[in-house]
Amino acid sequence: MKFSIVIATYNRAADLRDTLASLAGLRPAGDWEVIVVDNNSPDNTREVVETAAASFPAPLRYVFEREQGRSPALNAGIRLAQGDVIVTTDDDVRVEPDWLDRAAEGLERLQCDYVGGRVMPIWGAPRPAWLSNRGGQHWAVIALLDYGPEPIAFGSNVPLGVNMAFRRDAFTRAGLFDPHTGRKAGTLLGQEVREWAIRAGAAGVRGFYVPQMVVQHIIPASRLKKRYFRRWFYWRGISRAQLYERWGFDMQAPEQPALDPSQVRHIAGVPRYLYRKALRNVARWAAASLRRDTVAAFEHELWFWFFAGIVAERWKDWRAHRAVPSGPQRRPAL
């Protein structure tokens, strides 16, 4: 089989039904299948998949994964996938008929191990004035991505799991997604793709951005609120702090060589240089507010929420280390 599409889903049966209807329009050059991994949904997800399977143009399988989290769910689907190319996406997307072929073309043309593409919006409400219509750091909050019209190697820029395709061998060489990293029900944890990409790079697995590989992602009105953006950046801080605790990844730029925490000066578990940056951002936040630059003010405010998440998680780790002294786990420097 040439393609396997893996979707991890939790309690979003209505969205999943429409996504499967979009996937049914695919017309790839080669055999394909779809694997839907239900991560403990209390709704009628299984019924939706089984109903769609009766008329679906390719094998459509339902899998139940009890271990909570997007990473364990994706791993369950990847283990069962039969395709030479394994594609990951979400339960709230729309695709063009040539989506899979575009992914395969990118893998062959760039002679790489994985690719990621554009993720464009279907707005569920009018776009707020403080949110860019074309890229920028805020797009990550609502899982949108556009790195421009030309292919680029992944490194400091990373793909989004909603639109990625992997040669099967990429997982053999780099491993599956870390089950302890990434989204879990009731949280906005993330960083599972970034963590995998860093590990993949260390294993010599190469990835590229392919602009011709596009999905449209539905952005509900509930996510177009400043409150959601604040929560997302707070949880991003927690996620980055977890990577720092476990592997020494720099919390601002995880792709940089891993840090040795014993060589970094800390205050209550937080590197001192982050306090300095926090003070600069507070000053810039205040200055932008005074000149009524609402876009810039919100950007600086969001960095402060990111820092708050770091402080909350590192304070917890610091107290645990004081109670039971032990060093963090370390990976070899990348």
> Taking residues 47-62, what's their average pLDDT?
98
Full domain range(s) for residue 148: 3-224
The pLDDT tens digits of the residues spanning 173-230 come to 999 999 999 888 889 999 999 999 999 999 999 999 999 999 999 999 999 999 999 9
Please give the pLDDT value at position 331. 45
Q: How many domains does the chain have?
A: 2
Mean pLDDT for all residues in the chain? 92
Please give the pLDDT value at position 299. 86
The pLDDT tens digits of the residues spanning 82-96 come to 999 999 999 999 999
Domain termination site, one of 200, 224, 248: 224
User: Is residue 216 located within the same domain as residue 243?
Assistant: no
* 133 token code pair: 């219509």
pLDDT bucket at 318, cuts 50 / 70 / 90: confident
13 found inside a domain: yes
CATH number where 75 lies: 3.90.550.10
Query: pTM above the 0.85 mark?
Result: yes
Please give the pLDDT value at position 333. 35
The pLDDT tens digits of the residues spanning 229-243 come to 999 999 999 999 999
Which of 27-41, 276-290, 316-330 has the least mean pLDDT?
A: 316-330
User: Is residue 235 located within the same domain as residue 217?
Assistant: no
133 found inside a domain: yes
Could you tell me what percent of the chain has a pLDDT over 90? 79
Q: What angle do CA 317, 318, 321 make, to 5 degrees?
A: 85
* Cα(199)–Cα(260) distance, integer angstroms: 17
Q: Per-residue pLDDT for 60 more than 90? A: yes
Domain termination site, one of 224, 244, 275: 224
286 found inside a domain: yes
Domain termination site, one of 198, 224, 250: 224
Amino acid at 170: A
Only one residue has tokens 């464009």, namely: 120
User: Is residue 70 located within the same domain as residue 177?
Assistant: yes
pLDDT bucket at 111, cuts 50 / 70 / 90: very high
Nearest 10 degrees: CA dihedral of 159, 160, 165, 166?
60
- 270 or 130, higher pLDDT: 270
252 found inside a domain: yes
| Contacting residues for 268 by C-beta, under 8 A, at least 6 apart | 311, 314, 315, 318
pLDDT bucket at 324, cuts 50 / 70 / 90: low
Nearest 10 degrees: CA dihedral of 144, 150, 154, 156?
-70
334 found inside a domain: no
330 found inside a domain: no
